[in-house]
Amino acid sequence: MLSKSIETALNKQIRIEAESSQVYLAMAVWAEVKGLEGISNFMYDQSDEEREHMLKLIKFVNERGGHAHISELNAPEVTYSSFQEMFELLLKHEIFVSESINELVHISLQEKDYATHNFLQWYVAEQIEEEAVARTILDKVNMIGDDKGGLYLFDRDIQQLTVNSAAQDLSGEA
Protein backbone atom coordinates (compact mmCIF):
# COMPACT_ATOMS: atom_id res chain seq x y z
CA MET A 1 0.00 0.00 0.00
CA LEU A 2 1.33 3.41 -0.95
CA SER A 3 1.57 6.16 1.63
CA LYS A 4 -0.25 9.39 0.73
CA SER A 5 3.05 11.27 0.35
CA ILE A 6 4.48 8.67 -2.05
CA GLU A 7 1.21 8.55 -3.99
CA THR A 8 1.27 12.35 -4.30
CA ALA A 9 4.92 12.33 -5.43
CA LEU A 10 4.27 9.57 -7.98
CA ASN A 11 1.26 11.47 -9.33
CA LYS A 12 3.48 14.52 -9.74
CA GLN A 13 5.90 12.34 -11.73
CA ILE A 14 3.03 11.04 -13.89
CA ARG A 15 2.33 14.64 -14.87
CA ILE A 16 6.04 15.30 -15.55
CA GLU A 17 6.23 12.24 -17.84
CA ALA A 18 3.08 13.36 -19.67
CA GLU A 19 4.56 16.83 -20.11
CA SER A 20 7.81 15.26 -21.33
CA SER A 21 5.83 13.45 -24.01
CA GLN A 22 4.31 16.78 -25.03
CA VAL A 23 7.74 18.47 -25.12
CA TYR A 24 9.05 15.85 -27.55
CA LEU A 25 5.82 16.01 -29.57
CA ALA A 26 6.11 19.78 -29.98
CA MET A 27 9.74 19.37 -31.05
CA ALA A 28 8.72 16.68 -33.56
CA VAL A 29 6.12 18.94 -35.11
CA TRP A 30 8.54 21.86 -35.33
CA ALA A 31 11.23 19.72 -36.96
CA GLU A 32 8.73 18.20 -39.37
CA VAL A 33 7.50 21.63 -40.48
CA LYS A 34 11.16 22.59 -41.05
CA GLY A 35 11.54 19.59 -43.39
CA LEU A 36 13.78 17.52 -41.14
CA GLU A 37 12.11 14.13 -41.22
CA GLY A 38 14.85 12.27 -39.33
CA ILE A 39 14.77 14.62 -36.34
CA SER A 40 10.96 14.69 -36.34
CA ASN A 41 10.71 10.88 -36.44
CA PHE A 42 13.24 10.63 -33.62
CA MET A 43 11.19 13.11 -31.57
CA TYR A 44 7.89 11.33 -32.31
CA ASP A 45 9.49 8.09 -31.06
CA GLN A 46 10.78 9.84 -27.94
CA SER A 47 7.31 11.28 -27.31
CA ASP A 48 5.83 7.77 -27.44
CA GLU A 49 8.54 6.51 -25.08
CA GLU A 50 7.78 9.23 -22.52
CA ARG A 51 4.08 8.32 -22.69
CA GLU A 52 5.07 4.71 -21.95
CA HIS A 53 7.01 5.94 -18.90
CA MET A 54 3.86 7.72 -17.74
CA LEU A 55 1.69 4.63 -18.24
CA LYS A 56 4.16 2.47 -16.31
CA LEU A 57 3.87 4.87 -13.35
CA ILE A 58 0.06 4.92 -13.60
CA LYS A 59 -0.11 1.12 -13.48
CA PHE A 60 2.30 1.01 -10.53
CA VAL A 61 0.30 3.53 -8.49
CA ASN A 62 -2.98 1.75 -9.15
CA GLU A 63 -1.53 -1.73 -8.50
CA ARG A 64 -0.15 -0.57 -5.15
CA GLY A 65 -3.55 0.58 -3.91
CA GLY A 66 -3.19 4.21 -4.90
CA HIS A 67 -5.14 6.26 -7.39
CA ALA A 68 -3.26 7.64 -10.37
CA HIS A 69 -4.40 11.12 -11.35
CA ILE A 70 -4.46 12.56 -14.83
CA SER A 71 -4.09 16.31 -14.56
CA GLU A 72 -3.81 19.35 -16.76
CA LEU A 73 -0.47 19.86 -18.46
CA ASN A 74 1.71 22.89 -18.97
CA ALA A 75 2.01 23.69 -22.66
CA PRO A 76 5.48 23.11 -24.09
CA GLU A 77 7.44 25.57 -26.20
CA VAL A 78 6.33 25.14 -29.80
CA THR A 79 8.85 27.26 -31.69
CA TYR A 80 12.60 27.55 -31.38
CA SER A 81 15.12 29.99 -32.78
CA SER A 82 17.35 27.09 -33.89
CA PHE A 83 17.84 23.36 -33.61
CA GLN A 84 20.67 24.11 -31.20
CA GLU A 85 18.26 25.95 -28.90
CA MET A 86 15.74 23.10 -29.18
CA PHE A 87 18.30 20.50 -28.13
CA GLU A 88 19.63 22.73 -25.34
CA LEU A 89 16.09 22.95 -23.95
CA LEU A 90 15.74 19.20 -24.33
CA LEU A 91 18.86 18.53 -22.27
CA LYS A 92 17.71 21.01 -19.63
CA HIS A 93 14.33 19.25 -19.48
CA GLU A 94 15.92 15.80 -19.11
CA ILE A 95 18.08 17.08 -16.22
CA PHE A 96 14.88 18.40 -14.58
CA VAL A 97 13.24 14.96 -14.98
CA SER A 98 16.31 13.27 -13.48
CA GLU A 99 16.18 15.58 -10.46
CA SER A 100 12.50 14.75 -10.00
CA ILE A 101 13.17 10.99 -10.16
CA ASN A 102 16.01 11.39 -7.66
CA GLU A 103 13.66 13.21 -5.29
CA LEU A 104 11.18 10.34 -5.62
CA VAL A 105 13.92 7.85 -4.77
CA HIS A 106 14.83 9.97 -1.73
CA ILE A 107 11.20 10.02 -0.51
CA SER A 108 10.85 6.26 -1.00
CA LEU A 109 13.96 5.66 1.12
CA GLN A 110 12.82 8.08 3.82
CA GLU A 111 9.52 6.21 4.06
CA LYS A 112 11.20 2.80 3.82
CA ASP A 113 9.02 1.95 0.82
CA TYR A 114 11.45 -0.48 -0.76
CA ALA A 115 8.99 -1.72 -3.40
CA THR A 116 8.70 1.82 -4.78
CA HIS A 117 12.45 2.32 -4.41
CA ASN A 118 13.08 -0.85 -6.42
CA PHE A 119 10.52 0.16 -9.06
CA LEU A 120 12.16 3.58 -9.46
CA GLN A 121 15.60 2.12 -10.21
CA TRP A 122 14.47 1.51 -13.79
CA TYR A 123 13.71 5.24 -14.08
CA VAL A 124 17.09 6.17 -12.60
CA ALA A 125 18.86 4.08 -15.25
CA GLU A 126 16.55 5.38 -17.97
CA GLN A 127 17.36 8.99 -17.07
CA ILE A 128 21.09 8.32 -17.25
CA GLU A 129 20.49 7.12 -20.80
CA GLU A 130 18.12 10.01 -21.68
CA GLU A 131 20.65 12.61 -20.52
CA ALA A 132 23.48 10.84 -22.37
CA VAL A 133 21.46 10.83 -25.60
CA ALA A 134 20.52 14.51 -25.19
CA ARG A 135 24.16 15.46 -24.54
CA THR A 136 25.40 13.43 -27.52
CA ILE A 137 22.85 15.05 -29.84
CA LEU A 138 23.64 18.53 -28.53
CA ASP A 139 27.38 17.92 -29.01
CA LYS A 140 26.75 16.91 -32.63
CA VAL A 141 24.44 19.87 -33.27
CA ASN A 142 27.04 22.23 -31.76
CA MET A 143 29.69 20.75 -34.09
CA ILE A 144 27.43 21.35 -37.09
CA GLY A 145 26.81 24.98 -36.20
CA ASP A 146 25.20 26.79 -39.14
CA ASP A 147 26.36 24.25 -41.74
CA LYS A 148 23.21 23.29 -43.70
CA GLY A 149 24.96 20.27 -45.22
CA GLY A 150 25.91 19.06 -41.75
CA LEU A 151 22.34 19.48 -40.56
CA TYR A 152 21.11 17.51 -43.58
CA LEU A 153 23.51 14.64 -42.78
CA PHE A 154 22.64 14.77 -39.08
CA ASP A 155 18.93 14.62 -39.93
CA ARG A 156 19.57 11.55 -42.03
CA ASP A 157 21.75 9.87 -39.40
CA ILE A 158 19.80 10.58 -36.20
CA GLN A 159 17.59 7.55 -36.76
CA GLN A 160 20.63 5.33 -36.23
CA LEU A 161 21.85 7.22 -33.16
CA THR A 162 22.91 4.86 -30.41
CA VAL A 163 24.50 5.86 -27.15
CA ASN A 164 26.02 3.32 -24.81
CA SER A 165 25.40 4.78 -21.40
CA ALA A 166 26.96 3.71 -18.13
CA ALA A 167 23.54 2.44 -17.03
CA GLN A 168 23.42 0.09 -20.01
CA ASP A 169 26.92 -1.14 -19.30
CA LEU A 170 26.00 -1.99 -15.70
CA SER A 171 22.68 -3.69 -16.31
CA GLY A 172 23.16 -5.03 -19.81
CA GLU A 173 20.04 -3.11 -20.82
CA ALA A 174 18.33 0.22 -20.30
Q: Where are the domains of the chain?
A: 4-171
Pick the CATH number of 4-171 from 1.20.1260.10, 3.40.50.2000, 1.10.510.10, 3.40.50.2300: 1.20.1260.10
pLDDT at 146: 84
Give the Å distances, CA to CA, from 99 to 96, 103, 138, 162. 5, 6, 20, 24
Query: 174 pLDDT exceeds 50?
Result: no
- Own/partner contacts of 53-56, CB < 8 Å, gap of 24 or more, are 53/17, 53/20, 53/123, 53/126, 54/14, 54/17, 54/18, 54/20, 54/21
The values of phi and psi at residue 2, to 5°, are -80, 140
pTM, two decimals, is 0.90
Query: 170 pLDDT exceeds 60?
Result: no
pLDDT at 108: 98
Query: 148 pLDDT exceeds 90?
Result: no
Q: What is the mean pLDDT of the chain?
A: 92
